[in-house]
Structure 1
């Protein structure tokens, strides 16, 4: 999204766009203003999906569902054109913070605010259900805390009540910690499903965590269906109501009207201009409102009176040009996902940052930053739609393995299905769900190993398990089960080394700080080599090239286990990226210092400051290494606040080469490093979601791919190897591949 001046607006329909609020698998949301000055949130379908009849129909249903809903605590549709060349919808813009962001920044809500939140969400559901619609995705990011109360947003997966099922694609649609049991099991939904989600959302607001814990999506869904919620943080006066909302059987839950009546009987306080919100949250919302009113006014006329320019990248957007044909002017509003002051938009619940009065800086110390315009644009090798979303991809042995919740599908080099393996045939649900899906699989010796949870008899706890199959044809299956401890799935498949598979297993019902263990599985005997419970929760991991051990990092600690699973050493450090090389473990801490450590002792070998930590995704792709583990590829910060890609010798820390990168779009937030190495390329996902391939020998760009530019870069799952780069967005069922040479 370009930075805009008042005299050179971008437009969708009749609205001048002031910037991008966020994006997802279906579309991009912009802040827009009408000629009369009305501020709206404009959601536009991604250009590559506009010609897809199924996606266009899905968007048309979203518009229809949102149009049917109106109420004090929803964001009504004010305009839409689902049949336009680039379909779009405009909703009233709500100035507020998402509940998720407010709790993360300022802590759980106090009792009075919780009662207001509960009543406001219930009143919103009265409007939603009164229109014959089931929301199906009520969760903290889809609740905005505004000065006049909470607002429910995003009807992207809403359905009419008379025809609602879990999914029409075979994939789980929704957010696991906030699904109802019937939604998790694929049963027919009623409005009571939204009431269950209301209860989970209020419990989050009270305690700062889902009442069913976190971890692999399959584990969370198991707890939603079978376990009791943790409501210890919910105030005693509100707890009985939330317990009823979270009843496993839909018929035992209160209606939204009953929820409102219960809160009213509890003497819900009246709210004024900002009285219902805690002070720090109210102050931030007031600051956001002031920032919004300070935005430049739209151009006085939005009709075409002079030359126009179609923006590159197939966005379908146009921009009025001045008569001299020059490009857009600059303004102070920079868009992003982190830093600065945060504001949530009504159509998607995403956040954007306001970077005030910060001067732009030119490259320092003689840095010459290439524009990237001369870099060749790659072509998709193939792109296919699968019956279900596949949040895990692996490419090896001439096959692309696509792992979904209940199925593994093998694709050939042209994207055609070669084979399928159903998890139900082996009693398994695969660990691939969640907003940032974990690494649930690994390939070694021509075999694919996929982690998950094995179904248990009624009343028994589930067990973590692994399914092994041949990568080439999906045959010769076997299953190994973790018998040494209860387990509800694989939160991370560390990989295979020395004939052992290493996985992080999670205990069912565990809290975020407990219940994780490292499982070393001997692939020859298919028996456990060792299992060790660990603390803290492993968020990043790496396998040393020798020693049969494993390294894992929590929020503020890095630890190592030896070949027998015994704790070898531990260091207090916040780890932003972690990788293993032939000789050392290399980490980038949260302050940007790259350090090499002896994996056996933890002793420091060398250290260099100025690196870019990894992006906060579940994939461990903040650092890339070559096949031999002799070279480390990472991003480094420059004086002009841009980035360079550099190759560092793993043994000494000496820089082989360093190449300044073309800048991401000015409106993109700092992403953090996402890098892969394969086939002589270093691949990077930019903050604007442009994909780059750089020559691993010198850092020069070989090609770029802009076809998915503008979508959320955190949502992409990728895998490289076997001559291709494979990508998918778990919010959709599309899988794509680019050839390593870009042709």
Structure 2
């Protein structure tokens, strides 16, 4: 916890704010006390977001959804005022260690604790579903192991079961390893989806890892939909229940009450720790933390001490809460680079009901999931020079939307061209005209395919080349011996009217869908299919599809899942990076060179591949030989959504973000042939406390576009880096939930967690 700063509020309604727990993209979370001693976590919305009507509406809906849920195993809302000048929400303050952290630090839970966990989660779902709410993000990081049992937190993406508010078919949001198959496919959700997530969460607690494995979200989602989970480490008596919870068909899963009954049958009603029934839980553990393994219980008890022995709270609100990183375990190690790249890091501090994540600094203070220092919030000093003074965000004019509209489902990608914006959802492609009206719709099912199950990942699934749109995904096929009934496929349509369709499939190799689409160059489409041999073993590949003959030009087998890639404008082939190396693939599909290299960004400009290592050094490699041509220090790596480097239409200039000595960022235009800076301009600072998701840049129509860490959109003059306009309508939404594309004199953007698509003119007017 931190002491209050001078600019911090001192009160929220009837609560006195006594300490800051941390700050994030939406605002700050405080430890609050009522006059009667009740301890709560108070979430305060940032002042700049409080005046945003659309954001205030989203916050009001979040409060309404969270208020509908209350029970012994949740962290309920105890008070809120979404209409206040500074909107706020207070939730029960629950001190507990997240399940994710407990398992990572102390190993899988023993069988008796697993029974308590399973029944406790099921009872939480009884209360959640009784309120006609679907949680949609039940996972180990959102389960707190407290002294009185497990608690389910974070209803930030929970939705009403009647389909109101932000719920819509095709809207995919959540955490890949714990999604249900129907959630991964963007289908209509029922409460049974949460039961599937309960099964994966308990399996994690028993096994120490997701039952569908680790890796890139796209590959994990494929396994969730098409393969069986690994439950070998789940205790034999619990395994039949977890198998039923993980049934692919929702109707085959047990209800939460059936889960409780099953666990009661295993433990026997004489077990004093299992008081589950039709109403609220009757019993509590006889011993403090008696249901938890000793190391976990010791950590929870230490947390209570770390809170500084606060005044006794109201007994109806348990003093528990996710301040777990106040007491790090011995010899704690930071997250691995692979987890950071794939956005799968866990643990740290999650404020109950608020969903804010915090980590412990080396000096013992709490900080948000980004430093929030200067522009971009990347933090950290560097050897770069700051250049001219950093412009104030208030000095940059605000742009106006050209249009904004709603789609039938969430768009995972938007692609402008030829007067149309193609919006790709999991089930269809919708073409919008210059005014945002629907010009045409092409349904995937009419062509025997769906486009992808990976809207939570960075990988693209469509591309535009000239007058044609190409959308990739999974197509059904006639089963053959040793081959599955699905294939990697591409659907091509005319961009202007959605007509003249044709499809191509990867028929000469067993495959199970396309997980990414690097792009189209020189008459070939380059895709990333998941291939399968006759034994059912899967591996990633790079597929070059000749668009003239609609046949495979070549197929390159990859050793690991590509995380980033670069596609030259000419010459054929591409470069991809997995978590350990970079691999150059030539025009015939053979590996021309490779290097052990931990890439944090990858692109291409002129005659070079551009790669940033995990220390921030950008290296230009010759595309043919892999020799180093030039380097640039202090370059910011890409976000997990890519877009870390932008190039002009000829590929002669590369635009990157670099770190300045004041902790902020500058936009730099690099000559692609020499690496020398043509100009360097500091960018305006992102909102204080914003996370640092990495660089996201685009070039089009003489502008360099950037998504800030706080969701602000920026347009800079490509000739000199001067800021031209900004747009804040997406502030408060995580930058990693925004899909965007530029061209055809406009910037188009979609919220992948909702159904909103918007367009801005290139000049901001």
- Smaller-chain TM-score range? 0.7 to 0.9
Name the residue aligned to 2:634.
Answer: 610
SS at match of 1:211: coil
Where does 1:64-79 land on structure 2 (aligned, <5 Å)?
Answer: 65-66=68-69, 69-71=70-72, 73-79=73-79
Taking the aligned partners of 2:302 and 2:197, their CA distance within structure 1 comes to: 30
Q: Check if 1:734 corresponds to 2:735.
A: no
Q: Check if 1:561 corresponds to 2:585.
A: yes
Q: Check if 1:664 corresponds to 2:686.
A: yes
The count of residues paired between Structure 1 and Structure 2 equals: 693
Aligned-pair distance for 1:44?
A: 6.4
Aligned-pair distance for 1:590?
A: 1.4
- Show structure 2 runs of 5+ residues with no match: 274-284, 312-342, 366-370, 374-379
Name the residue aligned to 2:432.
Answer: 411
Query: 1:71-127: CA deviations, max 9, x gaps?
Result: 1x2112212456778876432133445545666x64853435545433432332344
Name the residue aligned to 2:323.
Answer: none
Where does 1:248-647 land on structure 2 (aligned, <5 Å)?
Answer: 248=248, 250-251=251-252, 253=254, 255-261=258-264, 264=267, 342-355=348-361, 356=363, 368-431=389-452, 433-436=454-457, 438-456=459-477, 460-507=484-531, 515-615=539-639, 617=640, 619-647=641-669
Query: 1:566-625: CA deviations, max 9, x gaps?
Result: 12211111111100111000011111010011122221112222111111x2x3201111
Specify whether residues 86 and 522 from structure 1 end up closer, same or farther in structure 2 by C-alpha distance, changes over 3 A only. Answer: farther
Taking the aligned partners of 1:725 and 1:483, their CA distance within structure 2 comes to: 37
- Show structure 1 runs of 5+ residues with no match: 297-336
Name the residue aligned to 1:301.
Answer: none
Query: 1:421-473: CA deviations, max 9, x gaps?
Result: 11111111011634235311111121000001112458943111011011111
Q: Check if 1:153 corresponds to 2:153.
A: yes
Aligned-pair distance for 1:503?
A: 0.4
Taking the aligned partners of 1:554 and 1:220, their CA distance within structure 2 comes to: 16
Specify whether residues 607 and 114 from structure 1 end up closer, same or farther in structure 2 by C-alpha distance, changes over 3 A only. Answer: farther
Aligned-pair distance for 1:174?
A: 5.2
Name the residue aligned to 2:279.
Answer: none
SS at match of 2:485: coil
Aligned-pair distance for 1:518?
A: 0.7
Aligned-pair distance for 1:156?
A: 5.3
Name the residue aligned to 1:211.
Answer: 211
Aligned-pair distance for 1:192?
A: 4.6
Specify whether residues 698 and 189 from structure 1 end up closer, same or farther in structure 2 by C-alpha distance, changes over 3 A only. Answer: closer
Aligned-pair distance for 1:15?
A: 5.2
Specify whether residues 181 and 295 from structure 1 end up closer, same or farther in structure 2 by C-alpha distance, changes over 3 A only. Answer: same
Name the residue aligned to 1:332.
Answer: none
1:62 corresponds, among 61, 65, 69, to 65
Taking the aligned partners of 1:271 and 1:568, their CA distance within structure 2 comes to: 66
Specify whether residues 294 and 393 from structure 1 end up closer, same or farther in structure 2 by C-alpha distance, changes over 3 A only. Answer: farther
Aligned-pair distance for 1:405?
A: 0.8
Name the residue aligned to 2:339.
Answer: none
Q: Which moved more, 1:392-401 or 1:49-58?
A: 49-58
Name the residue aligned to 1:303.
Answer: none
SS at match of 1:548: coil
SS at match of 2:348: strand
Taking the aligned partners of 1:692 and 1:242, their CA distance within structure 2 comes to: 47
Where does 1:687-706 land on structure 2 (aligned, <5 Å)?
Answer: 687-706=709-728
Taking the aligned partners of 2:535 and 2:79, their CA distance within structure 1 comes to: 44
* TM-score between both structures, scaled by the size of structure 1: 0.81
Name the residue aligned to 2:110.
Answer: 111
Q: Which moved more, 1:240-249 or 1:603-612?
A: 240-249
Aligned-pair distance for 1:539?
A: 0.9
Specify whether residues 353 and 177 from structure 1 end up closer, same or farther in structure 2 by C-alpha distance, changes over 3 A only. Answer: closer
Aligned-pair distance for 1:294?
A: 10
Aligned-pair distance for 1:557?
A: 0.9
Query: 1:287-317: CA deviations, max 9, x gaps?
Result: 8766765999xxxxxxxxxxxxxxxxxxxxx
Aligned-pair distance for 1:716?
A: 1.3
Taking the aligned partners of 1:31 and 1:486, their CA distance within structure 2 comes to: 54
Taking the aligned partners of 1:546 and 1:279, their CA distance within structure 2 comes to: 61
Query: 1:151-207: CA deviations, max 9, x gaps?
Result: 21244565677x589996332455464344566688887655433221112223444
Specify whether residues 226 and 497 from structure 1 end up closer, same or farther in structure 2 by C-alpha distance, changes over 3 A only. Answer: closer
Query: 1:712-732: CA deviations, max 9, x gaps?
Result: 122111111111111111111
Q: Check if 1:650 corresponds to 2:651.
A: no
Taking the aligned partners of 1:86 and 1:7, their CA distance within structure 2 comes to: 13
SS at match of 1:571: strand
SS at match of 1:488: strand
Aligned-pair distance for 1:416?
A: 1.5
Where does 1:21-36 land on structure 2 (aligned, <5 Å)?
Answer: 30-31=29-30, 33-36=32-35
Name the residue aligned to 2:168.
Answer: 169
SS at match of 1:373: helix
Specify whether residues 498 and 292 from structure 1 end up closer, same or farther in structure 2 by C-alpha distance, changes over 3 A only. Answer: farther
The 8 Å contact of residues 739 and 749 in structure 2, kept in 1 or not, is answered as yes
Cα RMSD between the aligned structures?
A: 4.2
The 8 Å contact of residues 402 and 409 in structure 1, kept in 2 or not, is answered as yes
Specify whether residues 64 and 286 from structure 1 end up closer, same or farther in structure 2 by C-alpha distance, changes over 3 A only. Answer: closer
The 8 Å contact of residues 100 and 346 in structure 2, kept in 1 or not, is answered as no
Query: 1:257-277: CA deviations, max 9, x gaps?
Result: 134325635989979666766
The 8 Å contact of residues 55 and 732 in structure 2, kept in 1 or not, is answered as no
Taking the aligned partners of 1:174 and 1:362, their CA distance within structure 2 comes to: 35
Specify whether residues 127 and 681 from structure 1 end up closer, same or farther in structure 2 by C-alpha distance, changes over 3 A only. Answer: same
Specify whether residues 444 and 148 from structure 1 end up closer, same or farther in structure 2 by C-alpha distance, changes over 3 A only. Answer: same
